[in-house]
Amino acid sequence: MVAQSAAAHHSGAMFDGHKSIALHGTVRLFQWTNPHCWIQLLVPSAAATTEWSIEMGSTSNLYRNGWRSSTLSAGERITVVIHPVRDGTAAGQFVAAAAVDGSSLGRAPARASP
Amino acid sequence: MRSAAVLWLIAVLAVAWAEAAPNSPQRVRAFAALPDWTGLWETAASRAFNRLSGKAAGNEYEAINHYVQLVGPAPYTQAWGKALQAELRNPAAAASASNVKLCTYGFPIIMDVLQIFQAVVTPEETLLVFDDGEVRHIYTDGRGHPVKDDLWPTAMGDSVGHWEGDTLVIDTVARIEGPLGIGPNKLSARAHFTERVRRLDKNNLEDQMTIDDPIAFTHPWKLTLHYTRAADLDRMLPWDCANDRNPVVNGKISVAPP
């Protein structure tokens, strides 16, 4: 048994790594912080608008993947792919993001390899 | 009388010059003999993780553990291994272990996880300064470990070292007994660590680590940890838990609003 990923601050067990969903919404807040950066994304639906909390890597991790604190601004429309949390709340683990023109934000994700 | 005053003045000036000199010739020579480990160094796990965009996800995220040798199988005695397995099977302990949060790591796991470090090599000590603020002090001024009454267990243990050519040989004792923090492994309070750290070339550093634990192990556990220069970084980017939005609620890590 591996208690926790070495990847950082906490276990990834809270996220469903086998499930990916794409969220289309508007950035309310981009937190360039540690231990994680966060995107607060307002996602409209027919019934209501839901605010999602999207957990990213650390500032160092994002910086090395081409992100900066200015990469996202409030009001910007983006698409974010996440692995949702298992408990059904509006939150998830960041996988990738794209601007409205389809261009990738930050470096495109890659699988870990030796 | 006059010549005595001149001699006195010369002596005073010589002392003042020696005290004002930034380093004694002896210390300058000692510095010159040390290897150059300038730069920022990262583990195999960090290299893998930082190929990912944002946070690595799902299986990729967990796959990072494949690069962390200290989560691998240790040469436990039958008694220690059995007791540890019983601990890990305990439902409460298992739930707690899968909801671990760390903002610091301690030794030895700090040498094998994602934290980037800078090595500061001086004649008196080598410091390994990690991006989460943790520091290893490895004294190389000839001292031994403190006597029993002055030595108590800490997260980093107590490290002294000496140079064998360009290899820093580190001896560490007095690590707190218990889990490594990440993974299933656990050491006793008598764990004794020997490391041989050397620069292989401009961009590669190697740490041959031997963990001898007379209580937990049948024989010493030998690992070779490998670090590469983080060439894309021109400064240390600090990591901390200032904006921790992952409270543990009802025993589980959750997500809090901003």
Closest chain A C-alpha to B178 CA, distance in angstroms:
14
Q: Which residues, in sequence order, are CB contacts of A42 under 8 Å at separation 6+?
A: A25, A26, A27, A28, A49, A50, A51
Q: Which residues, in sequence order, are CB contacts of B146 under 8 Å at separation 6+?
A: B158
Lookup: tokens for B193 = 């660590």
ipTM of the complex: 0.86
pLDDT digits (tens, 9 = 90+) for B56-93: 433 455 667 778 899 999 999 999 999 999 988 887 77
pLDDT digits (tens, 9 = 90+) for A55-114: 998 999 899 888 999 999 999 999 999 999 999 999 999 989 999 998 888 875 444 333
Q: Within an 8 Å CB–CB cutoff, is residue A53 touching chain B?
A: yes
Query: Do residue B258 and residue A97 have CB atoms under 8 angstroms apart?
Result: no
- How far apart, in whole angstroms, are the C-alpha atoms of residue B222 and residue B205? 17
Helix (H) or strand (E) holding A60: helix A59-63
Q: Within an 8 Å CB–CB cutoff, is residue B116 touching chain A?
A: yes
Q: Which residues, in sequence order, are CB contacts of A89 under 8 Å at separation 6+?
A: B254, B255
Question: How many CB atoms neighbour CB B14 within 10 A?
Answer: 10
- A contacts of B63 (beta carbons < 8 Å): 111-112
Query: Do residue B65 and residue A6 have CB atoms under 8 angstroms apart?
Result: yes
Can you tell me whether residue B100 is helix, strand or coil?
coil
* Lowest-confidence region among A47-56, B48-57, B73-82, B144-153: B48-57
Query: Do residue B101 and residue A9 have CB atoms under 8 angstroms apart?
Result: yes
Q: Within an 8 Å CB–CB cutoff, is residue A5 touching chain B?
A: yes
- B contacts of A111 (beta carbons < 8 Å): 52, 60, 63
- How far apart, in whole angstroms, are the C-alpha atoms of residue A78 and residue A31? 16
Residue type, B15: V
- How far apart, in whole angstroms, are the C-alpha atoms of residue A49 and residue A42? 6
Chain B stretch 48-87, residues whose beta carbon is closer than 8 A to a beta carbon of chain A: 48-68, 71
| pLDDT at site B20 | 65
Residue type, B74: A
Task: Give me the phi and psi of B114, to 5 degrees please.
Answer: -85, -10
Residue of A nearest to B116 (CA): A60
Query: Do residue A111 and residue B60 have CB atoms under 8 angstroms apart?
Result: yes
pLDDT digits (tens, 9 = 90+) for B177-223: 999 988 889 999 999 999 999 999 999 999 999 999 999 999 999 99
Residue of B nearest to A8 (CA): B114
Task: Please tell me the pTM assigned to this model.
Answer: 0.88
Domain edges within chain B: 40-229
**CATH says A21-99 is which class?**
mainly beta
**Nearest CB partner across the interface for A6, out of B64, B252, B253:** B64
Residue of A nearest to B56 (CA): A95
Query: Do residue A64 and residue B50 have CB atoms under 8 angstroms apart?
Result: yes
Domain edges within chain A: 21-99
Residue of A nearest to B254 (CA): A14
- Give the dihedral sign, CA B40/B44/B47/B50: negative
Q: Within an 8 Å CB–CB cutoff, is residue A85 touching chain B?
A: yes
